[in-house]
Chain A
């Protein structure tokens, strides 16, 4: 479902090139749940951004559901994200001007794939029924992250990418949120790639990869 070969990315810092990814290879099957760990600055988030088409790779290939991501135009990558990828960030990145209900439905409506029954199920399973009229700033961190997960899964994506989704949450809340995510991912059958610093949380997924010196160790 996701196949990455020889992926590389270099940034420039104070005029000096910094090789963040140096030939990453990675395969992820449909329904597989993979944790990606690594020290700070090892390139975990960069890898996620390249897969999502948020940034362009310098070399290598990314193939997602039969589509060559690195060959897509900006608009093509936007379409891929809209229709196939669910994204969850550490900072939640909800739309502050929209209510919880509107945030949950936002991506699905944009993609033209709003499924009322599925949305209702998400609301119920994420425990958001009583919060639908609230705004993001009126929610706790855990509640906001549940909304972000609901928004990402509302389109029934092929791949859910999560960048430190529990980084801003306490341990108990993090466990709860991740458990919910695992269940919902299993329910949709999509692939799940999560960047995390927590070895404990990484251990709860199907596979655990470590990124070191720009390569999968």
Chain B
């Protein structure tokens, strides 16, 4: 043991003399762990939220009974089942507005609620009576209470004018949900004796068959391990994980570079230790122990940094998930112990992987091995050939996945293979460029410039690979986001056809407002719409009702359409289908779709396909009159108006004054559009942040590589200085060299990034969201990103260059000094 400690002390003495290298190693490990753990923390937070949502008084985690058409059913069925020994508990669900904000209202029966219903929040026995007895209670999550701008104990009115029971905070409850006693819910939702579903508890004996008690009125839905929301958001989390993984690998590049250099520098020390009698096993074991100890320290610091990164990004991620999928994620970060353990584990594993080459070299090193490296050219050529062959194999895998892959994972596989292949082939690509430069060089310094750049390549290649990957991801994601942004804005212009949008509190108010509007000269047209929800082939589908008006024919964009598509819609036996639903159900124009309605099946010819960006649900657009015929309960609360621009402010003010509408209930087109674009931009804020992080880590990788190389490069630079080239000139040449290879790398990153963008747009987005965007290239954005990469490289190169320019001659003389 003492011998091992002595060897450890000798090994650690290296870091005392090479503080910058030590810092580099720690920075790499901390950056890798922090970014990976930060992303994992966000994913965990979101998944916890989905779990909470799924478990809220029986979500999909619980077996339940529902009506075949997913509509509400009579409470009598519940009574019959209880009498037949079924341990069922009733739930009624609907949507209400409180202070103008839409929320989910859940009515439950705490008395019959089975104890084994998911991991639903429990009501204590003492609370039970206050919940059930008048005036009752409305259970609410703390964040929802804040959103509603209410205090605990108040009883706010809903849009119909009825009052909720007093609010009480239940911490475990999912956001945007209010839970009340079932009787209260039936009253508030105006659904007397109606239920949405029956949760099934654990039966004590064997109850009568479902069929014998309720016939076909109800069907059993088995619990689901994965919710619809989880399925929908899988791609988003996979995306975040991919970013985290990329950053992690970029961080490991730094570690690899630092450990590799330390190993080369410690070769004489290792040989001396072996020569002094320390066994190879002991030295190698202590090397591993040293690395693990460093990884533990860096991992802990990385976890703390990861926590702060996650906390900083979480609001934007929550906004993204809400904007894209309607998922509600609490803004406050809570972490489980397994997150900390996984973070430490990934730090140690990453350090061992990054140091694997060096450790294997150390294990295989003969005790009298010479310190001389192989001839750099031969070594480099062999590696370049091997790497290029590996790159070709990886590209072949990418092609295979592109050809035969069908899943989202395959899409990400194509992306990963593409980037790995490009990273592997980068040194060969740079070698060809630098060799061409060397062959065309005239002056001696130019010749040395190219030749030395080639020699430096092996030391810088990992950092350059990191730069290539970071920049390619930046180009890819930025191109995708910009394409999405422009397409989205253009699409919004078409979709927001009306000039003013009104959302009434109920049908009665809708009728009153419509009648009032008909009397006004400044209103050119009243466009009443409606929405209903159903399920088609197991998919949740939203039915959007539009009136027949020339405005839609002119401005509503269709991706594909049958002849006279809009005219086909009018009788009510045709529909347009959103792109994502058409892909999910594999439905094309001309196909027929059966839509379950309360009155039976509704057969619709598909007359067109339209883009419906950002909607997690599939959507069918039909004529509004037909929608109301098939779904009589459809709220008629949505109204669009065509109004001359100059008359809009006056009309809105008049409506607000007449009907007491607030800003959320009535808005002009510009406001709605601005709000949509704001949500859109927020959705991609997290992507921008991760982009910046990745590029930043790549910059650090380049800086650390240059700093670690700087000392080992003195023997190459000192002879030039001795021959008569001044230190500032040498520094300028070194800077130019770094910038040149960074520029060549950036130029390769541009086509690679565009390929990444194409993969995201044509493969990943289609698989993840169900829509495909047109592919655009934005040259100015590319120039900007290359400039950012060069500035990052310049900043990375600046410090070592300043040190070189200011280096004391004594340090350079040391290269030549055999004695003094």
User: Do A and B associate with each other?
Assistant: yes
Q: Is B817 an interface residue (CB 8 A)?
A: yes
CB within 8 Å for A102 and B721 given contacts A54-B813, A55-B810, A75-B726: no
CA distance A94 to B715 in the complex (A): 9
Q: Is B812 an interface residue (CB 8 A)?
A: yes
CB atoms of A91 and B816 under 8 A apart:
yes
Interface code A120-158, partner B: CB below 8 Å = 1, 0 otherwise?
Answer: 000000000000000101100000000000000000000
By beta carbon, the residue of chain A nearest B453 is A97
CB atoms of A81 and B376 under 8 A apart:
no
| B816 proximity list for chain A (CB < 8 A) | 45, 49, 54, 89, 91, 93, 163
Contact partner, B376, options A80, A82, A96, A163, Cβ 8 Å: A96
CA distance A89 to B810 in the complex (A): 16
| B817 proximity list for chain A (CB < 8 A) | 45, 49
By beta carbon, the residue of chain B nearest A11 is B820
7 more A-B residue pairs beyond the given contacts A90-B818, A93-B722, with a C-beta to C-beta distance below 8 A: A45-B819, A46-B820, A54-B722, A74-B809, A97-B376, A106-B723, A110-B444
CB atoms of A82 and B723 under 8 A apart:
yes
Q: Is A167 an interface residue (CB 8 A)?
A: yes
Interface code A86-111, partner B: CB below 8 Å = 1, 0 otherwise?
Answer: 01011101111110001001110111
CB atoms of B725 and A78 under 8 A apart:
yes
CB atoms of A45 and B818 under 8 A apart:
yes
CB atoms of A45 and B820 under 8 A apart:
yes
CB atoms of A95 and B724 under 8 A apart:
no
By beta carbon, the residue of chain A nearest B817 is A45
Closest 3 CB pairs of A and B: A82-B724, A109-B444, A97-B451
Q: Is A203 an interface residue (CB 8 A)?
A: no
CB atoms of B447 and A98 under 8 A apart:
yes
CA distance A82 to B815 in the complex (A): 18
CA distance A163 to B454 in the complex (A): 30
CB atoms of A41 and B724 under 8 A apart:
no
Q: Least Cβ distance of A215 to chain B in Å?
A: 16
By beta carbon, the residue of chain B nearest A148 is B719
CB within 8 Å for A95 and B716 given contacts A40-B819, A45-B817, A137-B375: yes
CA distance A202 to B451 in the complex (A): 38
Q: Least Cβ distance of B727 to chain A in Å?
A: 7
Q: Is B337 an interface residue (CB 8 A)?
A: no
Interface of B is mostly: helix
CB atoms of B818 and A56 under 8 A apart:
no
CB within 8 Å for A106 and B818 given contacts A54-B722, A87-B723, A97-B451: no
Interface residue ranges, A against B (CB under 8 Å)? 11, 20, 40-41, 43-46, 49, 52, 54-56, 74-75, 78-83, 87, 89-91, 93-98, 102, 105-107, 109-111, 135, 137-138, 163-164, 167
Q: Which of B483-521 contact A (CB under 8 A)?
A: none
CB atoms of B444 and A102 under 8 A apart:
yes
| A163 proximity list for chain B (CB < 8 A) | 816, 818
Q: Is B720 an interface residue (CB 8 A)?
A: yes
CB atoms of B444 and A106 under 8 A apart:
yes
Q: Which of B316-365 contact A (CB under 8 A)?
A: none
By beta carbon, the residue of chain A nearest B812 is A54
Contact partner, B716, options A46, A96, A107, A167, Cβ 8 Å: A96
Q: Which of B407-427 contact A (CB under 8 A)?
A: none
Supply 19 A–B pairs (Cβ within 8 Å), ascending by A.
Answer: A41-B819, A43-B820, A45-B816, A54-B812, A54-B813, A75-B726, A81-B723, A81-B724, A82-B724, A87-B723, A93-B722, A95-B719, A95-B720, A98-B448, A106-B723, A107-B724, A110-B445, A110-B724, A110-B725
Interface residue ranges, B against A (CB under 8 Å)? 372, 375-377, 443-445, 447-448, 451-452, 454-455, 715-716, 718-727, 809-810, 812-813, 815-820
Contact partner, A55, options B376, B718, B813, Cβ 8 Å: B813
CA distance A55 to B813 in the complex (A): 7
CA distance A83 to B725 in the complex (A): 11
| A41 proximity list for chain B (CB < 8 A) | 819-820
CB atoms of B715 and A93 under 8 A apart:
yes
By beta carbon, the residue of chain A nearest B456 is A97
CA distance A109 to B427 in the complex (A): 30
CA distance A88 to B455 in the complex (A): 23
| A40 proximity list for chain B (CB < 8 A) | 819
| B376 proximity list for chain A (CB < 8 A) | 96-97, 137
By beta carbon, the residue of chain A nearest B451 is A97
CB atoms of B451 and A98 under 8 A apart:
yes
Q: Least Cβ distance of B298 to chain A in Å?
A: 34
Q: Least Cβ distance of A93 to chain B in Å?
A: 4
| B810 proximity list for chain A (CB < 8 A) | 55
Of A56, A79, A96, most B-chain CB atoms within 10 Å: A96
CB within 8 Å for A87 and B809 given contacts A74-B727, A96-B455: no
By beta carbon, the residue of chain B nearest A42 is B819
CA distance A75 to B447 in the complex (A): 22
CA distance A55 to B818 in the complex (A): 15
| A111 proximity list for chain B (CB < 8 A) | 724
| B716 proximity list for chain A (CB < 8 A) | 95-97
| A45 proximity list for chain B (CB < 8 A) | 816-820
| A97 proximity list for chain B (CB < 8 A) | 376, 448, 451-452, 454-455, 716
CB atoms of A56 and B718 under 8 A apart:
no
CB atoms of A93 and B719 under 8 A apart:
yes
By beta carbon, the residue of chain B nearest A46 is B820
By beta carbon, the residue of chain A nearest B810 is A55
| A98 proximity list for chain B (CB < 8 A) | 447-448, 451
